[in-house]
Amino acid sequence: MKLLRNRGIRPETGSDSAEQKKKLAAYSTLGLMFPVSIATGLFLGVFLDDVLGTSPVLTIILTLYGIAAGFYNFFKVINKYEKRK
């Protein structure tokens, strides 16, 4: 700590540090949003197609819905934290 102060570098403290940690936590979930939403739509579509006998129709629709949900969540998180600048 003393060495950092002597060079004019201050460690992050206070609300800036807490805000940076929140931002980092939110951004770290972005890498999982797409695969989870797509996989959820895919598996739900396959399951419903098997139950209802509607071959690939629901799989395609729910997979596309999962992709759209992934993009929606991505832009929602990005806009939430970029507006605070």
Is 5 a domain residue?
no
Angle at 66 between CA 68 and CA 28, to 5 degrees: 85
At 7 the pLDDT is 55
Give the count of domains, the chain: 1
Please indicate, yes or no, if residue 14 is contained in any of the structural domains: no
Domain membership flag for residue 20: no
Contact 40, 8 (CB under 8 A): no
| Residues contacting residue 60 through CB under 8 Å, at least 6 positions apart | 45
pLDDT average, residue stretch 29-56: 92
At 4-36, the pLDDT tens digits run 455 555 555 556 788 888 888 888 888 888 899
CA dihedral 43, 48, 53, 58 (to 10 degrees): -70
Give the predicted TM-score (pTM) of the model. Answer: 0.70
Residue 4, token pair as written in the block: 């950092």
Whole-number pLDDT of residue 6: 54
**Residue 49 or residue 29, greater confidence:** 49
